[in-house]
Amino acid sequence: MPDESTDNAFPRPLVILAVGLPLLLAAAVGAIGLLSGPADDPGQQQEEITTARRTGPLALPPVPAPGASTPECRAVLDGLPAELTSNSAKLPRRQLAEPAPVATVAWGSPQVDPVVLRCGLGRPSELNQASPLLVVGGATWLEIAEPGVSTWVAVDRPVYVVLTVPKDAGTGPLQEVSATIGRALPPRSPDLIGTPPGQGPPHSIPPTPTR
């Protein structure tokens, strides 16, 4: 299990920025347009802003990810689908702008905002004994909600896998990533008290019974 010291704690604001950054860039494009000349048709201007954040190489900020280069993250990345399903629509992989963060993948289309996955981040500070956890496809997730997006953290595997999705993305991305995690990594008990690395072995979680 990778080092999960305080310095490598889950950087929630930067991960949320993974989806928010294109919005900020688009706003900057709109502001430049306003300063450089007369305003275009509002509908056309909004269309240009939307296109700017949904197409082309996706710029993502680097975040601390102590486990990004581990075999566990490689197993997750190798098992990810080329497309995700969002509200019955297929989202292909998005190209990432260089330098691209390690162990990071994004999906999206001109019709929807990007879905971003990062592997190997530090333990989220929001994870504690009172955290409401959700089991999806056998994987246990912690949701960290922000305006417009939700960040889901898989907390029951040897590394933390973080999926940031727009609020209107539906459940498809989370379900498909859960299936990948279930195939790639063995389960373990979530660290609800922040146990330092090396103090106690992981405990397996029995499979979720099905009827």
- pLDDT values of the chain reduced to their tens digit, one per residue, 211 residues: 444 444 556 666 556 555 554 444 443 344 334 344 444 577 777 777 667 678 889 999 989 999 999 999 999 999 999 999 999 899 999 999 999 999 999 999 988 899 999 999 999 999 999 999 999 999 999 999 889 999 999 999 999 999 999 999 999 999 999 999 999 999 999 999 887 655 543 443 344 343 3
> Strand locations in the chain, DSSP E?
83-86, 89-92, 104-109, 112-121, 133-136, 139-146, 149-154, 160-166
Spatial distance between the Cα atoms of 51 and 53, rounded to a whole number of angstroms: 6
CB 84 within 8 Å of CB 91: yes
- From first CA to last CA, the distance across the chain in angstroms is 33
Say what the alpha-carbon torsion angle 191, 74, 66, 139 is, to the nearest 10 degrees: -20
Q: Describe the crossing of helices 172-184 and 71-79 by its angle, rounded to 10 degrees.
A: 130
pTM of the shown model: 0.76
